[in-house]
Structure 1
Amino acid sequence: MGIFKSGGAKTRTGSGKTIIATGCKISGEIKDLDGPLHIDGRVDGIVETEYDVSIGDKGILKGLIKAKNVVVSGVLEGKVACESIDILSTGKLLGEVICGELMIEAGGKFIGESRELTEGGLIVSFPEAERMRLANQLASQFASSGEKLTGNTQTEVKIEEKVSKANAEKDNV
């Protein structure tokens, strides 16, 4: 489980931490949170928040993430924009990172490219083409599984209590 850095962070008032528990899978877009997000399950999609995001030892996030600070103990695959990112000893990040500060503990893995965040802070936004590509990818995953989407694929959030054996085998990283 990741732990947030306490040095210099401002305290924010919010409703508390959002937790994606082990065994849960969310596909879609997560945004407008009132506090930090912790992932022990799996998230496929877009995460945009002004708060911290942590990915636990068994957690997986595939997609785009924009957050204040990110702590990776599990697997993060995709594009990340944040002020600081910590990849802990059990963490693995595959993709592109735009950040002000990057820390990798011994044993942590980073495969990809990184760029420094500009002085102006979090000015990075994900291009609409990238959002649409990801939304289309998520829609095709639902279509191939025979499930029916009831809303906009960019905002649709699907929670599964158990991940099927086929998905579990496919998702092993």
Structure 2
Amino acid sequence: MFGNKKNTNGLTFIAQGTKLSGETHFEGEALIGGELYGKISSTGKITIEAEGYIDGDLRCKELKVSGVFKGKLKCDKLNITNTGSVEGEIACESMEIFEGGQFIGMRVREEVNLLSSVIDEDNVAANG
């Protein structure tokens, strides 16, 4: 029953009212209706619903935002719907913003260094 199956990448759903923080990895597609904070990665598509919220460092294949994303993002394709809001530093191959959607931040060509702010803070603390 639980033998080796190929392509068993199911859908993960984080419901409205749920808050998760820390390091999270989704194998396959994820639908976010609640709140996620921290370092997040996925091998597939992440969809942030209208009530959904992600704040952190995100790496995924594709991101569709109907809710709110804040932080640093590395993806192949970014889609911001008419209710979506993206704020932060973004590295993506393609970006689509529908009328009403918001993008506040910076789009960079090279890969976003997700650890740069942590390393910089450590150097300042060490060097005083």
SS in 2 for 1:116: coil
Q: Closer, same or farther in 2 for the Cα pair 1:68/1:15, shift >3 Å? A: closer
Structure 1 gaps of 5+ residues are 1-11, 118-122, 134-173
Separation in structure 2 between the aligned mates of residue 71 and residue 130 of structure 1, nearest angstrom: 27
SS in 2 for 1:90: coil
How many Å apart are 1:49 and its aligned residue? 1.6
Separation in structure 2 between the aligned mates of residue 14 and residue 73 of structure 1, nearest angstrom: 26
Match of 2:126 in 1: none
SS in 1 for 2:108: strand
Match of 1:91 in 2: 84
Separation in structure 2 between the aligned mates of residue 13 and residue 37 of structure 1, nearest angstrom: 15
Q: What is the percentage of aligned positions where both structures have the same residue?
A: 32
**Counterparts in 2 of 1:32-71, with a 5 A limit?**
33-71=26-64
The structure where strand makes up a greater share of residues is 2
**Counterparts in 2 of 1:7-46, with a 5 A limit?**
13-31=7-25, 33-46=26-39
RMSD between aligned residues: 2.0
Count matched residues.
115
Q: Closer, same or farther in 2 for the Cα pair 1:51/1:22, shift >3 Å? A: same
CA contact (8 A) 2:73 2:112 kept: no
Alpha-carbon deviations, 1:51-110, whole Å to 9, x = none? 111100000000010000000000000000000100000000010100000110000000
- Establish whether residue 127 from structure 1 lines up as the match of residue 115 from structure 2: yes
Q: What is the TM-score when the length of structure 2 is the normalising length?
A: 0.81
Match of 1:80 in 2: 73
Letter in 1 for 2:7: T
Alpha-carbon deviations, 1:8-44, whole Å to 9, x = none? xxxx92241111000000011111x321111000001
Structure 2 gaps of 5+ residues are 1-5, 122-128
The structure where helix makes up a greater share of residues is 1
Please identify runs of 4+ aligned residues in structure 1 that moved more than 3 A: 128-131
Separation in structure 2 between the aligned mates of residue 127 and residue 18 of structure 1, nearest angstrom: 26
Q: What is the TM-score when the length of structure 1 is the normalising length?
A: 0.61
Q: Closer, same or farther in 2 for the Cα pair 1:124/1:112, shift >3 Å? A: closer
